[in-house]
Amino acid sequence: MEQRRRAVGTSVNRVDAYDKVTGRARYTDDLCGKEAYIARVVHSTVANGRVLSVDKSEAEKLPGVIRVVSCFDVPKNYYPTAGHPWSVEEAHQDVSDRLMLTDRVRFYGDDVAAVVAEDEVTAARAAGMVKIEYEEYPFVLDVREAMEDGAPQLHEDYPGNVLNHTSIRSGSYEEAIKEPGLIKVEGWYDTPSVQHCHIENFICYAYEADHKINVTSSTQIPHIVRRVVGQALGIPWGRVRVIKPYIGGGFGNKQDVLYEPLCAFLSTLCGGHLVKLDVSREEAFNCTRVRHAIRSHIISWVRPDGTFAARKLTAYSNQGAYASHGHGVVAKGMGAFPQLYPCPNVEADSYTVFTNRPVAGAMRGYGIPQAMFAVESHTDDVAKAVGMSPLEFRRKNLMPQGYVDAFSKNENYFDTFNQCMAKAAAYMDYDRKIKEYDGQDGNIRRGIGLAVFWYNTAVWPISLETSSCRMVLNQDGSIQVQVGETEIGQGADTAFSQMAADALGIPFEDVHIISSQDTDVTPFGTGAYASRQTYTAGFSIEQTAGLLKGRILSYAQELTRMPASQLELVDGVIVRKSDARPMMTLGELASEALYSLSHSEHLTAESTYQIKSNAYSFGCTMAEVEVDIEACKISLMDIVNVHDCGKLINPALALAQVHGGMSMGIGYGLSEMEKFDAATGRTLNGNLLDYKLSTAMDHPHLEGQFVKNYEPTSAFGTKALGEPPVCSVAPAIRNAVLQATGIGIDQIPLNPHVLFEEFKKGGLLDV
């Protein structure tokens, strides 16, 4: 008798919905005691230089100030900040280039001192009283200029400011381009730095108790934070306890260890007293993390029939001042280049380069939004050059069914791209509109654009993939579930609960997920990133449920006198397989097991599953725009995202993910970018007034659709969806503008300033 899977695949309500809509959900700031001292960081006012002296005297005299700490007072324990699994092999470890406070300043806003005071006003006043004397150096903001001879050097160990350079080579590019009759298409494509703009800014607090430093943090990676705090303070990792409560969004910014080490250190200086470090919105923009700005140069050699003979990519990633996630971001984008449109002759090079800009780290999509803007903009340029429609060209060249990547061993099991594009084209009435909008003139023009994307699920085989789960049977037959994967607002806890219910054979309502992670109690997990959560946790949830079910049925054998092999657990009832006869409820068994005078047993299970597989997620975006050429304005009229993310665990949550990613992609394509002062290196628009974040007022209807191909490598048939929805939106909008105007604009955002210059160059404006 097989269990009926009722929870997976249905749009059950989120497990955290009631607490969140009623305001009962408690976030980091809600949990911090009122007795907390307040910490404020003093940031550098030069973009490159060295601190010569720190005058703390005025600040220390201010009533209510507890401590003033300078860059000369912190341990010289260099540590990495990236939220990556640790490697026991030194060569594979992240770059350790950060100190809690630094005397070697590398960007405007670097952390040079901190104050701790009794209240926020006093802390802010004291921070303003700390006087810093600098030896100032020349600085560089542009990624290509940073690589030139004579450019200011940020880190001694990285000549030319190059953090890393990797290459891909297949076939013979130089020989292939000698083929007669080839058409050469070449372009530079630029994407800017943008900020995550999660609702809850980063915040943490720390105190000493029970012989440990206890840190509560708004983080995506609690177990990794534990390790890094230990490294920074130079103490055993087991003496650090990290708690992650509900958090108000992260999008990758909180996949770095930000100020937790400093907050923990300040607490130790204050006798272990509770210290809170809350980051302002301006600090979130400038002093946490941003998306990498990447410049990409692509050359394609194409035959007149629309097939590729050879392709070349060179990508330059602006890392900012410190390594953080470093080269992995642009390297992932480079990895997509030969896979998305397979070609026998490819050269690809990617460079990650230090500049005196805010630190770039993980952000939703992890290099793929930048890569897809470059590759998919270029793809439309190639289709135009050979006289093919963008859809026809992609159908001819995209990764086919059966393709296997030699490195990851990922396989494209289905005709996914054609399925996704067909769905999008049907929704958008693509064939009719692309003919209707072709060759327009006049001031107001419409266009339709297409872009596809490639995405890997999780990080194997580049890095460790592991998931652990604990299940505990309660007296009433319900279970508690803990996993190391973190809920960051995306609905992961609901998906975990659905999988646990089906894997064990109990109603969804009988699963109690423990949302917060506590490194002293929660099974080890690396956190929320790489769209890994549902895919990886599915393995450990299924395995742990199998172990717990085995123990339940073994105990049931004593009570029913039926062999465990002849019993099954269905909807919380132990039944006999042969005739589906109910034998007893799980609640009855649980009570007996706990309180039996003859055989008392607490039925639990815990297991770890190391995942050594990966999965492709694919999809596409189609966008329709209206362009007012004289006003240099784009209006987005309609947009659709179609995804193959395997089986949908919760369709409503899946659609919410798609809508959120589309919104983020719209802002990326049309309005968002960080601006920097060329004279000082200071961020010019680091606040929500000056930074042009898109809102619901900037959106048309957001249409999300799915191609539900069951993923065979997955425990529940699912794969990545968290990050993919952002990846192809910006190039689809760009390509729609290309069709409307004939102008291929190779930088985002497509704001009026950019459009004015491009339309003027293209002869559409007579100015």
Closest CA to 291 of 169, 215, 174, 198: 198
Using alpha carbons, list the distances in angstroms from residue 411 to 62, 169, 349, 463, 715. 64, 21, 24, 19, 16
> Tens digits of per-residue pLDDT, 648-683?
999 999 999 999 999 999 999 999 999 999 999 999
Is 32-137+196-287 CATH 3.90.1170.50? yes
The predicted pLDDT at position 249 comes to 95
Class level of CATH domain 466-610 = alpha beta
Number of H helices, E strands in the chain: 20, 27
Residue 276: beta bridge partners?
Answer: 38, 205
How would residue 1 be classed by pLDDT, with cut points 50, 70 and 90?
very low
- Tell me how many degrees the CA angle 257-261-266 measures, rounded to the nearest 5: 150
Report the run of H or E that residue 185 belongs to, with start and end.
Answer: strand 183-191
Residue 734, pLDDT above cutoff 80: yes
Kindly report whether the peptide bond that precedes residue 461 is cis, defined as omega within 30 degrees of 0.
Answer: yes
Which residue type sits at 1?
Answer: M
- Tell me how many degrees the CA angle 290-293-298 measures, rounded to the nearest 5: 155
* Percentage of residues in the chain having pLDDT higher than 70: 99
Per-domain residue ranges of the chain = 32-137+196-287, 364-452+615-761, 466-610
The predicted pLDDT at position 4 comes to 64
Q: Measure the CA–CA gap between 688 and 669, rounded to whole angstroms.
A: 17
For tokens 């960080």, the residue is 674
Q: Measure the CA–CA gap between 228 and 223, rounded to whole angstroms.
A: 9
Q: Which two tokens stand for residue 141?
A: 């903001």
Q: Measure the CA–CA gap between 4 and 575, rounded to whole angstroms.
A: 13
CA dihedral 521, 361, 724, 395 (to 10 degrees): -140
The predicted pLDDT at position 471 comes to 98
Tell me the pLDDT of the chain averaged across its residues.
96
Mean pLDDT of 689-703: 94
For tokens 């940031």, the residue is 43
> Tens digits of per-residue pLDDT, 357-405?
999 999 999 999 999 999 999 999 999 999 999 999 999 999 999 999 9
- Domain 364-452+615-761 and domain 466-610, same fold? Reply is yes
> Tens digits of per-residue pLDDT, 37-55?
999 999 999 999 999 999 9
> Tens digits of per-residue pLDDT, 492-508?
999 999 999 999 999 99
How would residue 485 be classed by pLDDT, with cut points 50, 70 and 90?
very high
Mean pLDDT of 7-31: 96
Is 364-452+615-761 CATH 3.30.365.10? yes
How would residue 5 be classed by pLDDT, with cut points 50, 70 and 90?
low
Q: Which two tokens stand for residue 340?
A: 């998305």
Which residue type sits at 536?
Answer: T
545's CB contacts (< 8 A; 6+ apart) are: 471, 500, 503, 504, 605
CB atoms within 10 A of CB 477: 22
Q: Which two tokens stand for residue 258?
A: 């930000």
Q: Measure the CA–CA gap between 370 and 292, rounded to whole angstroms.
A: 8
SS3 439: coil
Residue 234, pLDDT above cutoff 70: yes
> Tens digits of per-residue pLDDT, 543-556?
999 999 999 999 99
N-to-C CA span, the chain: 77
